[in-house]
Structure 1
Amino acid sequence: MMRGPMRVLVLAAVLLSAMPALGAQAVAVSVEELARASDAVVRGRVTTSRAQRTDDGLRVFTTYEVRTSAVLRGQAPTIAHVVVPGGVVGRFGQRVDAAPAIAPDEEVVLFLRHAGPDAFRVTGLAQGKFSVVGPVARPDLSELTFIRTSVRHGERRAEEMPLAELERRVRSIR
């Protein structure tokens, strides 16, 4: 039978192992890296969303309809369907670490990769989605822990910056 301090240590280890993780680990990427890895980069407004379960019923994904106001790189339709892992269907919800949080009527800049003939996924997950608030663009990186934060010399990490600078950096990539 365990006594005193050993019992407390074992109990603490069990309790700590049952706690949820505080966020995903990520390697910081630059705006330029995101642009190079994307099929399209768009600025637009989220108009609708629809969450659904996969055919096996084990996962949830949400499709957002984004009305593009500008294509900064690549080609994208006027209405882009952006698929993000996670969401809520009825009483069943699923949260995916590092998935970008997108809200209806939000103005965004999205770095996108094709995920089928009429659908896209966000490149770099949360790092590839910037909310536009006035003249500022900012990704929500609050759920990420970075294991490496440096990027190539002359490039800028995906972080809050003036919208004009974000657009200039994306358009500079050939």
Structure 2
Amino acid sequence: MSIRHAVRTLVLAALLGGLPAGATTMLRADLPQMAQASDAVVQGVVRRVQSRWSGDNRRIVTDVEIEVTESLKGTSGGTVLVTQPGGRVGDIGQVVSGLATFSEGEEVVVFLEKKGASAFQLAGMAQGKYQVQRSDSKTGAMAVPAPTGDAVLIDPQTRQETESNAKPVTLAQLKSTIRAALQAQQVAPAKKGTK
């Protein structure tokens, strides 16, 4: 089951009364699953964050333009545009629980799903963003998962509420885990074909 399908199923369940009303609910996704299910995974620097009215003028969306410094999966070089619901235009704001926030100049690793011809959205909502924090220490850069806020996380196996299992790791460890997951994904179909 894809992350997209699982999130849609849980949102539908919430609307039907199976989960607490008013809360954003999403399946907890582990790092290898996020890497494999995403259309693209990139490291980059946020160059622009801009909220605007949607085409039908009924909701606010925020565009986040990320200059890609390294593509770990999918898209190569250039920039990517991440669009997500919510934001502020003038005196009017819209908040959507469970989404990551971005700021200009911030270095990130993001897991992306295609949304239209040229835009993306975060895979797994806030779970799809790691902030890169650099220091002068010998540990190097750290990759810190975005907080999920007041969103309710559901364990994909037990279907019970759970906590996020995402923890800060070094940037090198994050990239290594992503590459290993993608390599395992390529090997799995090859093994099926030999049976």
Task: Give TM-score, length-normalised by structure 2.
Answer: 0.70
Summarize the alignment of residues 93-112 of structure 1 with structure 2, pairs less than 5 Å apart: 93-112=93-112
Identity score, percent: 32
Which residue of structure 2 lines up, in the alignment, with residue 31 of structure 1?
Answer: 31
Moved more, 128-137 or 71-80: 71-80
Which residue of structure 2 lines up, in the alignment, with residue 165 of structure 1?
Answer: 173
Shift of 1:35: 0.9
Task: Show structure 1 runs of 4+ deviating over 6 A.
Answer: none
Unmatched runs of 5 consecutive residues or more in structure 2: 1-20, 135-140, 159-164, 187-195
Structure 1 Cα separation of the partners of residues 93 and 48 of structure 2? 18
Unmatched runs of 5 consecutive residues or more in structure 1: 1-19, 152-156
1:79/1:94 Cα in 2 relative to 1: closer, same or farther (>3 Å)?
same
CA contact (8 A) 2:143 2:171 kept: yes
Shift of 1:49: 1.7
CA contact (8 A) 1:40 1:76 kept: no
Structure 2 Cα separation of the partners of residues 142 and 119 of structure 1? 22
How many equivalent residue pairs? 150
Letter in 2 for 1:137: A
Which residue of structure 1 lines up, in the alignment, with residue 65 of structure 2?
Answer: 65
Structure (1/2) with the larger helix percentage: 2
Structure 2 Cα separation of the partners of residues 168 and 110 of structure 1? 15
Which residue of structure 2 lines up, in the alignment, with residue 137 of structure 1?
Answer: 143
Shift of 1:171: 1.2
CA contact (8 A) 1:136 1:161 kept: yes
Tell me the secondary structure at the aligned position of residue 170 of structure 1.
helix
Letter in 2 for 1:140: A
Shift of 1:55: 2.7
1:121/1:76 Cα in 2 relative to 1: closer, same or farther (>3 Å)?
farther
Task: Give TM-score, length-normalised by structure 1.
Answer: 0.77
Structure 2 Cα separation of the partners of residues 26 and 122 of structure 1? 13
Letter in 2 for 1:25: T
Letter in 2 for 1:138: V
Shift of 1:109: 0.2
1:92/1:76 Cα in 2 relative to 1: closer, same or farther (>3 Å)?
farther
